[in-house]
Amino acid sequence: MTQIILKKRENTGSQPAAKMRRAGDVPGIIYGEGIASRNFSIPEAAVNKILKHQGGSALFDVELEGEGAPVKAILQALQKDPVTDRPVHIDLYQVRMDKTLRTEIPLHFIGIAPAIKDLGGTLVKQVDHLPIECLPGDLVQAVEVSIDLLKTFEDHIKAKDLKLPSGIKLHLDPETIILSVSAPRSEAELAALSGEVKADVSAIEVLTEKKKEGEEGEGEKEGEEKTTPVEKK
């Protein structure tokens, strides 16, 4: 992945941030242990590139405008618009290569589970990100987990069964179940789920009548001041 350029940002607050987003940029902040925080903006396309290539866990190089030398960073947090799902703010953590860091790395499940293929079961993922600690140089983008050993509905994979790369310390109870396979539902269970749910129609009618009575005479007064939600940075 190529180096990411961060544009130094002086103006903070909701209005400058909104203007920035309309121009196709995302406001952000970068900070680290014993390192002063700095505000920046970054093209939305670059944020999507980080998510695609780094998966939110691996190291990448960033250069803040005016600082010269690039530094190593990881994605610390990303806020998205709940409607459009577009990024609205990004936090980067500047790492020191001689200091251990705590983060999470995703699990990638590979292979074919006989309990799914032959018995019709459903894969149940209890954990999909691992809390870990390591030096930045030992950080990996993901940990692969083979599900080939899940042959029956009694089989499961625990944290202690994972094969982690050298230098990575797992912060999770070894007995934690990572994934298993659940048996398919019986015909009786499926019939119960598809059964008709009967509603209390009389209660709904009473509530509707009360609502109509309360709505009479209520309306927005002319000239009444409206409140507009403030956009969070």
Of all residues in the chain, the percent with pLDDT exceeding 90 is 49
E-strand ranges in the chain read: 4-8, 25-32, 35-43, 60-64, 71-80, 87-94, 101-110, 122-125, 129-134, 143-146, 156-158, 169-170, 177-182
CATH topology of domain 102-189: RNA Polymerase Alpha Subunit; Chain A, domain 2 (2.170.120)
Q: What is the pTM of this model?
A: 0.65
Q: 136-195, pLDDT tens digit by residue?
A: 889 888 899 999 999 999 999 999 999 999 999 999 999 999 999 999 876 666 577 666
What's the pLDDT tens digit per position in 36-85? Answer: 899 999 999 999 888 877 655 678 899 998 888 899 998 889 999 999 99
What's the mean pLDDT in 96-108?
A: 90
Q: What values do phi and psi take at 36, rounded to 5?
A: -65, 140
Q: Which CATH superfamily is domain 4-97 in?
A: Ribosomal Protein L25; Chain P (2.40.240.10)
Pairwise pLDDT comparison (218 vs 118), residue with the higher score: 118
Measure the CA–CA gap between 28 and 73, rounded to whole angstroms: 13
Q: Is the pLDDT of residue 197 over 50?
A: yes
Alpha helices in 154-216 (DSSP H): 187-193, 201-215
Rounded Cα gap, residues 15 and 51, in angstroms: 26
Mean pLDDT value of segment 79-106:
91
Ranges of each domain in the chain = 4-97, 102-189
118 sits in which H/E element:
none
